[in-house]
Chains A and B, each alone.
Chain A
Amino acid sequence: MSELKLNSVIAGKKELEEICNKLISKNKNIKKTVSICCGTGCIANNSLEIVNKLQQLLKSRKIDNAEIKILKSGCPGYCEQGPLVKIMPDDILYTKVTPEDAEEIINETIINNKTVERLLFKENGDKTIQKENDIPFYKKQNRILLGLQSKIDYTSLEDYISINGYQAAAKAFSMKPDNIIGEIVDSGLRGRGGAGFPTGRKWEQVKKQDNTPKYIVCNADEGDPGAFMDRAVLEGNPHLIIEGLIIGGYAMGAEKGYVYVRDEYPLAVKNLKKATDAARKVGLLGKNILGSGFNFDIVLYRGAGAFVCGESSALIKSIMGMAGEPKQKIPRNSVKGLWNKPTNINNVETWANVPNIINYGSSWFAEYGNKSSKGTKIFALVGKINNTGLVEVPMGITLREVINDIGGGIPEGKKFKAVQTGGPSGGCLPDEKLDLPIDFDSLDEAGAIMGSGGMIVMDENTCMVDVAKYFTDFNLNESCGKCTSCREGLSRLSEILERIIGGKGKEDDLLLMEELSEYIISTSLCGLGQTAPNPVLSTLRYFKDEYEAHIKEKRCPAKVCKSLISFRINPDKCIGCGKCAKSCPTNAISGEKKHTHVIDPYKCVKCGRCLLECPGKIQAVEKVDTFAEAK
């Protein structure tokens, strides 16, 4: 095996291409590549154990390392079926692999070139599908960014260079900074963090400032609950972000970049650190990068668990070592940002798109998407959906396509109720809005926002008032407290919702909430406050009947709100097995063996354990409307 270690500084474009070619020809010797998803999601399902087992087995069978390559890859997206193991060049995707399966994979697939039918993806429970791209989940996707994940080991610089890595940076150095920015403007790339501001225009503004030094920041403080696409890219392909930052730094004339990453993503921090160290070693970061005379370095800065720090001005304060409280928008960060110097902030996904645009040109990028929004976007499709995971689709695809075709619909044959986009600043859209194209402007119009890409699907068992309360409480907790309207307004909003959920709502509460929301929106300083009432407003707009059922009939249609439901044992169904009584934490259930059991409503804390304990065939425990019952 010819050793090809990257230790010395890469002098220029030519040398980079040489190394790339050498790596490619070296990879031709590899007979099989086994890539195991080692993103946080799959690690939670024991994927590291699979890697260890495979490596041990290879060693004990004395199989040559140069022929079989085992790589830890970033998240390829299909988390529902994880841990995923992909074998190239046969293009076999094994799903839900356990460490015990490792031996069979080695024996059958690696040595005997056979497919293990048992581990393949099964459509509708019987038909097996071997190739990744034939699986319905992947069919409609355009995986420009996520497709790279399973090709490389996530911290290996060699692997990244072998897929033409850092060549966009090399190409950028041969261009004029203005032309690079022109390319970004022409591509129509808009900020992927949520607001959708045209990236090229942002860069132009920083470029034209005379004040130096300038800074660029990668906003990796992905705080939206239910969104993890930035994490996947950070973990799975950190060099892509570094390359994006180098290009941005060169175009805007910044010599220092910050990556502000959430501390809740330990693996992302670790991989980024490894990647920056490796890049620094070969001179891809530091002084005179690739012989261009351009100096650039990246500082990793860990966030400390404040959601508001995803807001640009709060993020800047946090990097400067203060509490992350937002300031007013003017002067903009592009004029006075970090240490009062011009600063450009972009989201992880935005930076990740930059190398591709430089490599393949703006017109290539603009082919994807629709009129107002270009390119592809990664969404985190989660909640009550069959295929949970990350999906990368071209902009302009409809919500229905994503949820039904890619997501595979709602589990257990339940009815779809709403999809929530844009995290705590977004809104909930009902069934009739599902034919909307996903782009910045259409979603905005419908009362939701694109946001960073969280897409949470809710079925008929989800109470929309409860969801509104959840997001309001979230925003209330995360409000920094600077603006009274946000701090106090959200408290009051939460109080009203609490009242409605508790069955004590008044009819004019709905009007009051609308009015209060308007005040919060118009008088808050930063994006958090200005969008915090969106979940309430959008649910009021599309699901008013649910609010009315809570207020007028004292009934929760989805049977979620605890004050309005009670648990009851159906005497016709109960067989008196006693399982529920045994598990009840408050001893509220009584009854003799083989006789009907009864729940004491005064002792019951409505934890729902009896419902889970009751055998699936019997289903004697049921939720009923407390107040309907009383009538």
Chain B
Amino acid sequence: MSVTKEKNKNGSVVVVGGGIAGVQLSSDLADSGYYVYLVEKTPSIGGIMSQLDKTFPTNDCSMCILAPKLVGVGRNPNIELLTHSEVKEFAGKPGNFKVKVVKHARSVDPDKCTGCGLCTENCPIQYKIQPKEEALQIPEIEDREEIDKIINSYKDLDSPVVQILLDINEKYKYLPEPVLKYISYKMDIPFSEIYRMVTFYKAFSLEPKGKYHFKVCMGTACHVRGAEAVLESIKHGIKDTKKDLFSVETVNCLGVCASGPVIVVNETYYGNMNSKNTAELVKKLIDKENE
């Protein structure tokens, strides 16, 4: 940054964009003696980095790097935050710009807000954040009628999403993305919200299951009787098979503790398993397929 000696130059800088780059730049500039206006379109600074979990390549915690910088910017008396604002036009020449910034209505007093989030939870139109145009495209799926039927069968329920997803998971043995998009459209729930459910609850799978789906019970009773060895035996046995033939899943307790360790292949229960008879079972299934 070259420092010129012209007298009419302003000692302030506008930084547009409050992501990690803008935040770092602002604090560097402020530390070197400039007054900084940091303009950010969204209601808060931090940008994409605040949404990340880890950073490449060191796997450092993203928030741990970012948070002190955000606090530093917020506290720095030489930085003025203009959040929820946009640059409309600017004129002038280097050293003496005039910038027009539109500050959007926030409708909340930022000095008093503690960020508890209760207002968003209680807002009656919480699902309208997603742009309407995007949601209007009807995703193309094959069995639309059947899916409509599933959706309609729960119309008496106040909050049927999970129940509908369970039925669809049962139908396809996993949740295909187009179907999820269709439900999102049909029920007017943002896709992200559905995605959140799908990844929160363990019963749902986003990947297709194999022809033989193994459920290995990992309940305590099965664990103390050696379920770990059974799981390893299955994994070892299906290592070199085709991907769509076998899939393995662990479940917490099937409640068949008397004959543990238990595995379920598709719908059939097998009790009192150990690494020996499990390996034999897997081998039998592989042989059956090769015939």
Contact = CB atoms under 8 A, between A and B. Distances in A.
A607 B221 contact: no
A339 B203 CA distance: 25
Residue from B163, B252, B274 with most neighbouring chain A CB atoms (10 Å): B252
A384 B269 CA distance: 21
A264 B252 CA distance: 9
Interface residues of B, number: 46
Interface residues of A, number: 61
A384 B200 contact: no
Contacts, number: 154
A40 interface: yes
Contacts of B160: 321
Contact of B220 (A324, A456, A607): A456
A608 B257 contact: no
Contacts of A263: 166, 203
Given A264-B254, A321-B162, A306 B225 contact: no
Interface in B232-265: 232-233, 236-237, 251-260, 262
A438 B69 CA distance: 55
Contact of A225 (B161, B220, B232, B275): B220
Contact of B159 (A321, A384, A462, A583): A321
A480 B220 contact: no
Nearest to B189: A321
Nearest to A381: B257
A464 B166 CA distance: 37
Interface string A33-58: 00000001101110000000000000
A231 B255 contact: yes
Contacts of B200: 306, 323-324, 480
B137 to A, nearest CB: 24
A226 B219 CA distance: 6
A339 B161 CA distance: 16
Contact of B253 (A224, A462, A470): A224
B201 interface: yes
Nearest to B253: A225
A378 B197 CA distance: 33
Contact of A383 (B220, B262, B276): B220
Contacts of A591: none
Contacts of B219: 225-226
A226 B197 CA distance: 27
Interface string B166-209: 10000000000000000000000000000011001111100000
Contacts of A470: 220, 223
11 contacts: A41-B258, A41-B259, A79-B256, A225-B218, A225-B219, A227-B253, A263-B203, A380-B257, A382-B260, A467-B223, A467-B224
Which 9 A/B pairs are nearest by Cβ-Cβ distance? Answer: A321-B159, A228-B255, A79-B258, A225-B219, A304-B201, A305-B202, A44-B269, A305-B203, A382-B257
Interface of B: 157-163, 165-166, 196-197, 200-204, 218-221, 223-226, 229, 232-233, 236-237, 251-260, 262, 269, 271, 274-276, 279
